[in-house]
Amino acid sequence: MCPAKIAEGEQRGFVIPIGGGEERLEDPVILQRFVDMCGGKDAHIVIIPTASTLAKTGPNYEVVFSELGAKVTVSVLINSRDDARNSEYLEEIEKATGIFMTGGNQLRLSTILGGTPAAQAIRRANAAGVHVAGTSAGAAIMPEHMIAGGPTGALPSEQGVTLAPGMGLINKLILDQHFSQRNRLGRLLSAVSYNPFAVGIGICEDTAAFIGPDGVLEVVGSGTITVIDPSDLEYSSMAEAQEGESITLIGLKLHLLSSGAKYDLSSRQASPS
């Protein structure tokens, strides 16, 4: 699935995956920057709490974004595929200057939203310049291919990751969240080894990738983003590996990027802050 087409004269909005655990009170640099980008005191932020089963998730983010200066903050309670066709919810998404998908369970998010008018509305909004952010599960669903699960650990293996279709807001990468906190290097390496087309990015908690319409990623937050660049991969044993067997990968390039550092997903060049 590719990002929605951009109309003539339009520019795509930012796509902002957050690794989860973003600071909301003391120094909320990620959420504050998101609000400012969406219009600050004129921002109209629509929250999609579908990934969470907790009733307070959406209202909590409404308060957070209001305190950060947004003019309108509203939760769209999409808890079923029928909800994802609700015309009032679709109209709310169309009015947004920013869309925020909360954490929870990414499979709940994908099975409820996938292929629905609500998902299409989010994709169209981003193509028309609306910024779309997501934390944890809300970040995982953003690429064309979503990491749905997999064991922890540093080593890739034949059964090291489970993939599912994502929302397709961006198709040049595959990402994982809570990255260093939950030791997820192995499953991201496994995902990249399936097809070296995609760059792998692992996002720590309280860290975000602000990905602009030019395909340049900027790191914001207190942690790091691990970039796995397979463009010069010389060999992968994934195709020959037996069930559960460890994988050989030769020629991978790895970057560790902290706040202010950038990575160009097209040229695959990293630069310091």
22 is catalytic: no
Query: Which residue, 70, 69, 75, is CA-closest to 56?
Result: 75
Model pLDDT for residues 161-171, shown as the tens digit of each residue: 999 999 999 98
Candidate list 178, 190, 218, 236, residue with the active-site label: 178
The residue type of 193 is S
Model pTM?
0.95
Model pLDDT for residues 181-227, shown as the tens digit of each residue: 999 999 999 999 887 889 999 999 999 999 999 999 999 999 999 99
* Domain 15-266, classified CATH 3.40.50.360, yes or no: no
Report the C-alpha gap between 183 and 203 in whole angstroms: 11
Q: How far apart are the first and last CA of the chain?
A: 32
62 is catalytic: no
* Mean pLDDT value of segment 244-273: 94
Has residue 10 got a pLDDT over 80? Answer: no
Per DSSP, helices labelled H in the chain are: 29-37, 57-67, 87-95, 106-113, 117-127, 137-140, 185-194
Candidate list 52, 75, 110, 136, residue with the active-site label: 136
Q: Left (φ > 0), alpha (ψ -120 to 50) or beta: where does 202 sit?
A: beta
Candidate list 144, 158, 205, 218, residue with the active-site label: 205
Report the C-alpha gap between 31 and 16 in whole angstroms: 10
% of the chain surpassing 70 pLDDT: 98
178 is catalytic: yes
Query: Which residue, 34, 46, 6, 2, is CA-closest to 128?
Result: 6
Report the C-alpha gap between 50 and 134 in whole angstroms: 11
User: Domain map of the chain by residue range?
Assistant: 15-266
